[in-house]
Amino acid sequence: MNILTTGGAGFIGSHTCVELMKAGHHVIVVDNYVNSQPEALRRVEELGGMPVKSYTADVCDAEAMERIFSENEIDAVIHFAGLKAVGESVHQPLRYYRNNLDSTLTLCETMERHGVKRIVFSSSATVYGVPDEVPLREDMFCKGCTNPYGWTKYMIEKILGGIVEADPEWSVVLLRYFNPIGAHESGRIGENPNGIPNNLMPYITKVAAGQLDHLSVFGNDYATHDGTGVRDYIHVVDLAKGHVDACAYAAQHTGCEIINLGTGIGYSVLDIVNAFEKANGVKVPYVITDRRPGDVDACYADPAKAEALLGWKAERNLEDMCRDAWRWQTMNPNGYKG
Ligand code: NAD
Ligand code: WQD
């Protein structure tokens, strides 16, 4: 298939492009590089062994999107493009709503005009809000999100669901990712956050590399086995492969499906620190600090639906995730900047 990936130069998009190419698909990318670098796509081409057709454009730009759909026979779209920093979204709500919603509306209007009716969307476990119970299943009621970023995901799920209701020929797969970490095992592509990372694993790799002094562990009084927050960490390559399977599913089914992509296993912050030290033989100094506002005790998936519908299951373990995250860091101490 010819698959358009919006935001394909980003962390998850770049890994997915490689897996799509390995599965025999042709990849077209549109990205405005607001949170990524063109160098990522050069490396995707190297790993995928074929060229990637790329457009530098904002997905909110209707004329640019029209041109992309006119110049290519697109069979399906994976919509990664979006702003994703939870804390930033609290301070810049309008920017988040504008970018994430407008890009989705513009994309879907263009798809509709061109009769392209298959879309896989990057949703998030954040739409579950504060969970009453874990593991989280797709049919659980979402009581509400805790930040504007989460609401954009929630609203986009509703928008895409509404499109299917109006036109049952559409095929929509809403993938709710849990906590993607790790990097491609080649060490050539990985997560490249701007400035000081917000998320746990990129913070740990910078501490281990000596670029940051120590990790702050946000709270040790949660209702978990060691008091630190528990999450479902998933290797980004496993996540990427889930998109290949979702595209195959979308090609054969119509309707709207919500699917968790997680491992089903919850690890605490200290589990991650210990596993990282063991896998890589490096120290990660940390101090326990106050809780981070908005954090929940535990969040992990019931991944059964992904296996039943897509035949997909995460294959990489925590040691793989720690090893690959560290390889990416050591081979690219300044990310794509060399
Ligand atoms: P990322 O920031 O690395 O990638 C997003 C890409 O989209 C970037 O390359 C960015 O430049 C591009 N982009 C943003 N707005 C754009 C626009 N208007 N036009 C064109 N390009 C635009 O993030 P990621 O971690 O790869 O996440 C991909 C998607 O998955 C996002 O939608 C994110 O919200 C979602 N998601 C991420 C996580 C996570 O923890 N990484 C978890 C759940 C969901
Ligand atoms: C993981 C754990 C922290 C940093 C976020 C988004 C979510 C999704 C994935 C997009 C928590 C603890 C962290 C640090 C720490 N993204 N921590 N010290 O918050 O589970 O999920 O990314 O959709 O929407 O909210 O991920 O990596 O920030 O935190 O102790 O310096 O690590 O408290 O328990 P989170 P995270």
What does the pLDDT read at residue 193? 85
Residue 92 has pLDDT above 90, yes or no: yes
Residue 194: pLDDT band with limits 50, 70, 90:
confident
Check pocket membership of 116 for ligand 2, CB cut-off 6 A.
no
Burial class of residue 84, CB neighbours in 10 A (0-12, 13-18, 19+): buried
Check pocket membership of 84 for ligand 2, CB cut-off 6 A.
yes
What does the pLDDT read at residue 302? 98
> Which residues are within 8 A (CB) of 338 and not within 5 positions of it... i.e. 6 or more apart?
332
The protein residue with its alpha carbon nearest to ligand 1, atom 39, reads 180
Gap from CA of 229 to ligand 2 centroid (Å) = 9
Gap from CA of 178 to ligand 2 centroid (Å) = 10
Check pocket membership of 269 for ligand 2, CB cut-off 6 A.
yes
Question: What is the reported pTM?
Answer: 0.99
Between 283 and 143, name the one with better pLDDT: 283
**Which residues have C-beta atoms less than 6 Å from ligand 1?**
7, 9-13, 30-36, 58-60, 80-84, 99, 103, 122, 124, 177, 180
Ligand nearest to the CA of 95: 1
Distance from C-alpha of 81 to C-alpha of 58, rounded to nearest angstrom: 9
Per-residue pLDDT averaged across 281-286, rounded?
98
Per-residue pLDDT averaged across 192-197, rounded?
91
Shortest-distance atom of ligand 2 to CA 217: 30
- Mean pLDDT estimate for the chain: 98
Ligand 2 pocket test target in 200, 230, 299 with most atoms within 8 Å of CB = 200
What does the pLDDT read at residue 77? 99
CB 100 within 8 A of CB 82: yes
pLDDT in tens, 125-175: 999 999 999 999 999 999 899 999 999 999 999 999 999 999 999 999 999
Q: Which two tokens stand for residue 124?
A: 């998030």
